[in-house]
Every structure is written in structure tokens, then in C-alpha cells.
A and B are shown apart, each in its own frame.
Chain A
Amino acid sequence: MEYFSLLSEGFLRVMRPDLLLIMLAAIPFGLIFGLVPGLSGLTALAILLPFIYGMQPLQGLALLLSAHAVIYTGGSVSAIILGIPGSPPNAATVLDGFPMARQGRGGEAMGAALAASGLGGIFGVLVLVAILPILEPIVLLFGSPETFFLALMGVAFIAVVGEGPMQKGLISGALGIFLALFGYQSVTGVPRFWFGSDYLLDGFRIIPLALGLFAIPELIALSSKGRAVAHDSDESKITFAQVKEGVWQVFRHPALFFKSSAIGAVVGVVPGVGGETSPFVAYAAAKQTSKHPELFGKGSIEGVIAPESSNNAKEGGALVPTLAFGIPGSTGMALLGGFLILGLEPGPEFLKEHMDLGVGLAMVVAISNLFAAAVMILLARHIAQITHLEGHILAPLLLAVVVLGTFASKQNPMDVVYVFVFGGLGYILKELSYSRAALILGFVLTNAIESSLHISLRSYGWLFWMRPVSLIIIALLALGILWPTVKRRMRARKASAS
């Protein structure tokens, strides 16, 4: 009962005019950062951080959190209409969203993505609110061995059921991990494979890699064909009805929505894994259970709903370890710096003393998600007009945005060069049906995989996997890898018998 009064108190605290104004100002900022490829959530938070000095804790955190909560909502639009993920977690949305745009169903994809994002965000918050009081024992179940297997599961799942054949998916995932081994090793601080290059001391960066893999091959396609992304026919005109149809699609797939949002929220809880993994895991799970897995990668609405629901749902989950242990659940949860600026220290004590603030932050995320989805649904039709621009106009303009966005992320000209290096790699992978999504996910999760392996070996020895939760994850991992083959064989046997 006490908790419910805390909830209502938290809600009332957020419904203050000053906080609503701060959120209204921060949301368009976050949406723009999501829309522009290369400008990540971290960049947005970094730019906003100086503005929170002198603010009250809830005001300052509302500014950061509402901008951050809606970044992936904006990113889904670029992923669908341009085939370029606005931010790395939106890469999973490209797989089906962009083919839908090319089929003239961009409006439907956008409607579905935006509704799934908004509702998924609220789902994540509900999960957060529900588990805040019983948090500690749950997060404590996940030690380094579990983090290791969960991260590995993320890469393996997307490699197995993502675009292209399984063998190539596994190669891509492993190559992503391999590329992330360059530069300082987080555990020992030893610079690996840097070949005398200062740039390589910090390793390859995620922004040039993501933009190179996903943007450059699309820009080559756009530029070489010279025609618009969507065919200029009557069916391809994006109407509000099309966007509305997309929104309804989410309600027609309730099981998929709840499953994907739950995956997002649960994966988001695991420190260091949540961020980029959850959309891919949700996508893989959706494909495995879909009645039409063959349509995935070719413009399946389920392939849009799944990653987008989990994408925003994970932010609620990611707040859990951030608030409870001071360990960010996703890379974007680097708003920890914001807590420190405001004189707060997240951790178990924080929840005891500032539970009302925790609930207030959850409300901020929920309201921001709803508001951002509504704004984007209203504007979707106009934004999607970009898909009707000629390729010869769109390609160089987008290239300029990619170059500027890449430079802006770290202000290092070499990043721009590497966009083209990885662009060449992305082109080869695309032509030969290797999974680019698996590569990027492997890259992103390497730090979590390697450091949790290192800690696990030191703490538990070579039998680190003999823990109950680890064994469950290993069983799920094995099932995920073997299930497509078993399913195919069962189908073949059934077909031959009939």
C-alpha cells in the first residue's frame, strides 16, 4: 500500500509545469539526435550535461532522461526510410523496415515502429516500477558468468537467425568480436594490435563501424541507381492511413509485442549488456516463433515491431541496475555522470533514501515515450517524403550528414576515413549475404564478453559455467542455435511423410 502511495506521489511530482516544460524541450532534442545517423545518445547526453548544473535533482535528471529515452524512437525513422540506423540499436530495425520502405510500405513500418517504441517504453517503465521494491535479489542472480553467457547468447542468436546463412552469421559475429579486440584491453590496460597507430590505441569506434556497415552500402546503391528509395507510384505515397495501419499492426500482434518488450526489459536489466543486444535478441526470437519466418529480412512487419518494442522497453530495465547498483544497464545510461553532478550517488542506499525520485524518473521515461511517439506519428508522413527524393540528390546529402555526424561524435578526422574503410567491408558483407547485424552486435558486446570471462575465470576457475542461472542460459543458447535446424528437419520429415 505504501508503495502505491509512493507511485502516486512520484506521478504528481512529475506533473509539475516546470518539469513538463523541461521534458518538452528535451524530447525534440533527443528525437533529432536519434534521426541523424552518427549522433548517438551519448553525444546527446554529453551536450546536455553542462545544462543541468544548478538544477534540482529531478529537473536535471528529467532533462537528461527524457532526451535519452526518445533517441531510439527518432532512430527508427532513419532506419526505415533511409536504411541507415539513427543509432546502433536501431540496426535491427533496418533489416525489415527498409525493405518495407522500398516496397512503398514505409508509412506502415513507421507507424508500427513508433507505436511499438512508445508502448514498449511504457512497458519497460511498468516493469521497472513493479520490480523496484524487489530488485536486489534479482540483479544479484546475474554475476559475471551469467553476463558472459547472456552476451554470447545475444551474438549467437542474431548470427543464427539473422540475415543470411548460419555459417556466415557466425563468421560475422566472431569477426565483430575480433575487430573489437584492437586497442586497450579493458582488463589489463595493455594496448593490443595497435601497430604504432595512435588511433588504434583506443580501438575501432562504434559510430564509424555502424555507419560504414549500414550507411555506405545503401549510399552506393542509392547513388548508382539514382532513383528514389520508394518507387514513385501512387501506392508508395505515405498517407496517414498507412501510418495508422502500422500503429494497428502492433495491436494485432499483442503476443509479439509483450514478448519483445519483456525481452527488452529483462535484457536491459543486465549491466553492460542491455543497450544494443535486446533489439537483436527480440528480432531473433520473433523470427523463430513467427508463422512466416521466410518473410524476415524482406519486409516483415513483425521484424519491425519486435526490435522497436524491445528497444525502448530496455531503457526501463536499464534504469534498474543504474539506480540500484550504480552500474549502467545500457551504454546510454552514462547519465550516471548526471547523478554525480546533481550530488546524488546511485546504489542500494539511493533506493532506500530516494525511492520517490526513482519512481519519478520512471514516470519521466513513460511520459517522454508517449509524447515522442505521438509527435512522430503525426509528423511521420512528412518525414517520409524524403524517400521520394532522387537517389542522386539524397545520396550526397546523406553522405554529408554521415561525414558530419561521424566527425561530431569524437571530433576525430580519422573516424571519417574509417567510415569508408568499414563501408567497403559492409559492401562485401551485404553482397555475400553475411550478417552485418551480427558483426555490429559482436563488436558492441566484446567488452562485456571478455571482461566477464576474465572475472569468471579468476573467481570460479574453468567450471564457472556450473551455476544454475548460467546453466539455464547455456540451455537457452543451445536451444536457440539448434532450434532452426531441428525445425527445418521436422518440416522436411513431415513433408516427405505426406
Chain B
Amino acid sequence: MKAFEIASAAVLLLFVAFIIGAGAFFYGYPMNVMRFPYFVGGFLLLMGAWRLRGAIRGERLEGETEEEPTTDSIGEFARTALWLLLILPAVWLLGYPAGITAYLLVYFLAHGQTWLTSVLLSAAALAVTYFVFIVFLRVNLPVWPIGLGP
């Protein structure tokens, strides 16, 4: 956890410094555009540096409690995150209604649900997608692969 704390504080510092640097030197924004970013960025750099120093020294902050981590290991986190992320290529490649249905079917089957449950739930999701989002709300959902539709 200590390494995670250090890394997050360091990434924050780099991110803020990069954005402020880009605004000041790359884009060369005038002062009335950059005044507020300087305030906020300066405050974040100060606080981030303070946090980084505390994290390196292993200081415990007042009010900090030991929380149970969301996942048991990095491997489990990566597996779970990948399963969730899979919905992106699914909707991108198959369009939203078909992509979401296919994603759900594969997810349910891979996580121990029976064929019947998986097919029923995926079909219900397809029906909700169609009737609620396309018919009722008139959302222009991409039905074809994104970038290839009419």
C-alpha cells in the first residue's frame, strides 16, 4: 500500500505539472486564462508534494482507517477489470444492442450461470435496451459497429 500511495502522489504531481506546463509554455495562454489554473495547480502541487513526503516517510494521516481492499490480489483486480472492460470492444464492434447482449451472454456463461439463465437475462437486457432506450427515450443508439453504420 505504501508503494501505491507514493506512486499515486507522484503521478498526481507529474500530471498537474505537465498540464500547467503545457498551458504556460506550449499553448502560451494569457494570464486571464491561466490565473485560475495557476491557483488550483499551485495548491495541488503543494498538497501533492506534502502527501508524497508523508507517503515516503510512511506517516499515517489523522482520520485514516485501514479499509479492506476491494479485491484480494492484483491478479484478481486485473481479471475483474478486464471482464468489465470487455464491454467496450463488444459495443464498438457489434453496435450497442447486439454488443451488450453478446457481452452479457458470454459474461454469464463464463461466471457459472446456466445456459437458460444466461440466455433469458441477455434477452431481457436486449428487450430493455430496445424498448426503453430506442423506442421510449428515442436514443440514437448505434446498432451497427461504430464507424460503419449508415
Interface flag for A192 (CB, 8 Å): yes
A416 and B70: CB pair below 8 A? no
Interface size class of A (residues with CB under 8 A): 35 or more
A167 with B50: in contact, given A177-B40, A224-B71, A397-B104 (CB under 8 Å)?
A: yes
How far is it, in angstroms, between the C-alpha of A47 and the C-alpha of B112 when the chains are bound? 40
16 A-B residue pairs with Cβ-Cβ distance under 8 Å, sorted by A, are A165-B63, A165-B64, A167-B54, A168-B61, A178-B16, A178-B40, A178-B41, A192-B27, A220-B71, A220-B80, A220-B81, A223-B84, A396-B87, A397-B104, A400-B104, A431-B69
- Cβ < 8 Å to B, chain A residues 195-235: 195, 216-217, 219-221, 223-224, 226
Partner of A165, one of B61, B76, B81: B61
Find out whether the CB atom of A223 lies under 8 angstroms from the CB atom of B137: no
Q: Which listed residue (A174, A220, A411, A488) contacts B70, Cβ 8 A?
A: A220
Residues from 65 to 89 in B contacting A, C-beta threshold 8 Å: 65, 67, 69-72, 76-77, 79-81, 83-85, 87-88
Q: A195 CA to B18 CA in the complex, in Å?
A: 12
Q: Are B70 and A432 in contact (CB under 8 A)?
A: no
Q: How far is A488 from B61 in the complex, measured between Cα atoms in Å?
A: 14
Interface band, chain B: 35 or more
CB distance B125 to A400 under 8 Å?
Answer: yes
Q: Is B14 an interface residue (CB 8 A)?
A: no
Inter-chain CA distance A403–B96, complex, in Å, is: 9
- Closest approach, in angstroms, between the C-beta of B4 and any C-beta of chain A? 7
Point out the residue from B36, B70, B96 that lies within 8 Å of A427, measured CB to CB: B70
Q: Which residues of A377-428 are within 8 A (CB) of B?
A: 392-393, 395-397, 399-400, 403-404, 407-408, 411, 413, 416-417, 420, 423, 427-428
Q: CA of A403 to CA of B139 in the docked complex: distance in angstroms?
A: 13
How far, in whole Å, are A431 and B117 apart by their CA atoms in the complex?
33
- Main secondary structure on A side of the interface with B: helix
- Chain A residues whose C-beta falls within 8 Å of the C-beta of B129 in the assembled complex: 400, 404
B residues within 8 A CB of A396?
87, 103-104, 107-108
Provide the residues of chain A in CB contact with B139, threshold 8 Å: 404, 407-408, 411
Per-residue 0/1 for A81-122: is the Cβ within 8 Å of any B Cβ (1 yes, 0 no)? Answer: 000000000000000000000000000000000000000000
* Residues 123-175 of A contacting B (Cβ, < 8 Å): 164-168, 170-171, 174-175
Q: A220-B80, A400-B100 are in contact. Are A393 and B63 (CB under 8 A)?
A: no
Q: Which residues of A contact B63 (CB under 8 A)?
A: 164-166
- For the complex, is A453 an interface residue (Cβ under 8 Å from B)? yes
Chain A residue with minimal CB distance to B54? A167
CB-CB nearest in chain B for A195: B22
Q: Which B residues are CB-close (under 8 A) to A223?
A: 80, 83-84
Contact indicator B77/A224 (Cβ below 8 Å): yes
**Within the complex, what minimum Cβ distance (angstroms) separates A482 from chain B?**
14
The verdict on A478 contacting chain B, using a C-beta distance below 8 Å, is no
Q: Is there an interface contact between A175 and B12, defined as CB atoms closer than 8 Å?
A: yes
CB distance from A49 to the nearest CB of B (A): 13
Chain A interfacial positions (CB closer than 8 Å to B): 47, 164-168, 170-171, 174-175, 177-178, 181, 185, 187-188, 190, 192-193, 195, 216-217, 219-221, 223-224, 226, 392-393, 395-397, 399-400, 403-404, 407-408, 411, 413, 416-417, 420, 423, 427-428, 430-433, 449-450, 453-454, 488
Q: How far is the CB of B28 from chain A (nearest CB, A)?
A: 11
Contacting residues, chain B, for A181 (C-beta < 8 A)? 36-37, 40
**A408 to B133 CA separation, bound complex (whole angstroms):** 8
Q: Do most interface residues of chain B lie in helix, strand or loop, or is the interface mixed? A: helix
Q: Check if B135 is an interface residue, CB within 8 A of chain A.
A: no
B65 partner residues in chain A, CB cutoff 8 A: 433
B10 to chain A, nearest CB (A): 13
Which of A47, A192, A195 has the most chain B CB atoms closer than 10 A to its own CB? A192
A194 to B16, CA, bound (A): 14
B30 → A minimal CB distance (Å): 8
**Are the C-beta atoms of B33 and A420 separated by less than 8 Å?**
no
Report whether B80 and A192 are in contact in the complex, using a CB–CB cutoff of 8 Å: no
Closest Cβ of chain B to A409, distance in Å, is 9
Distance of A164 Cα from B61 Cα, bound (Å): 9
B1-60 contacts to A, CB under 8 A, are 1, 4-5, 8, 12, 16, 19, 22-23, 27, 29, 32-33, 36-37, 40-41, 43-44, 47-48, 50-51, 54
Top 3 nearest A-B pairs by Cβ distance? A165-B61, A392-B111, A224-B80
Residues 81-130 (chain B) with a chain A CB within 8 angstroms? 81, 83-85, 87-88, 91-92, 96, 100, 103-104, 107-108, 111-113, 117, 121, 125, 129
> Which among B32, B71, B140 is the interface contact of A411 at CB below 8 angstroms?
B140
Contact across chains for A420 and B43 when beta carbons are under 8 A apart: no
What is the minimal beta-carbon distance from A398 to any residue of chain B, in angstroms? 10
Q: Which residues of B contact A171 (CB under 8 A)?
A: 12, 44, 47-48, 51
Instruction: Give the most central of A165, A190, A400, A431: most B CB within 10 Å.
Output: A400
Min CB–CB distance A490 → chain B (angstroms): 15
Q: Tell whether, in the assembled complex, residue B12 and residue A416 are in contact, meaning their CB atoms are under 8 Å apart.
A: no
Q: Which residues of chain A come closer than 8 Å to B92, judged between CB atoms?
A: 413
Nearest B residue (CB) for A166: B63
Q: Are A397 and B125 in contact (CB under 8 A)?
A: yes
Complex CA gap A388/B22 in Å reads 49
- Given known contacts A165-B64, A167-B51, A433-B67, A399 and B40 CB-to-CB distance under 8 angstroms: no
Which A residue's beta carbon lies closest to that of B62?
Answer: A165
Asked whether A453 lies within 8 Å of B36 as measured between CB atoms, the reply is: yes
Q: Identify B108's interface contact among A220, A393, A430, A488, CB under 8 A.
A: A393
